Structure 1
Amino acid sequence: MAVSKKKVIESINAMPEEEFVDIDVLLERIMLLNKIEAGEKNIDEGKTYTTEEAKEKLSKWLQ
């Protein structure tokens, strides 16, 4: 899923001038928007975990 041009422009316009120091800041913001959109799509498609399922998956990582 790609971030829409409209959202990228909105994000640029919402950034305070002092944050817009280089392209890396903008790219990080675009990547974050892309991840948020992907997460929202997963929620809409029911691709989520219950709290118990998430705890079980995380417990394997935290051992």
Structure 2
Amino acid sequence: MLTKEKMHELIDHMPEVFSLGDLNDRVELMQKIEQAQKEIENGEGTDWEDFKKEMDSWLK
């Protein structure tokens, strides 16, 4: 969940001039990262070895 504090930090790290699209992209990225961190904490992430095997199958 985004908080005002996180949004302030995000905006503080943006350039002086930016588009709403740029801001939206960063907000979406933050949300995806937070979701991924929660999944990892809950043991729902993909094991590195399983990931490498899956990548190998994609590249064939």
Uncovered stretches (5+) of structure 2, i.e. residues with no partner? none
- Residues in 1 aligned to 2:30 and 2:53: alpha-carbon distance in whole angstroms: 28
How many positions carry a matched residue from both structures?
59
SS in 2 for 1:17: coil
SS at match of 1:24: helix
Structure scoring higher RCO (CA < 8 A, sep ≥ 6) equals 1
Structure 1: runs of 5+ lacking an equivalent: none
The 4+ residue runs of structure 1 with deviation greater than 3 A are none
**Which of the residues 13, 28, 33 maps onto 1:31?**
28
Normalised TM-score (structure 2): 0.80
**TM score, norm. by length of structure 1:** 0.77
Aligned identity (percent) is 36
Superposed CA deviations along residues 5-60 of structure 1, whole A, max 9, x for unmatched, are 32223211221204x1x111001100110111011101110112222101111112
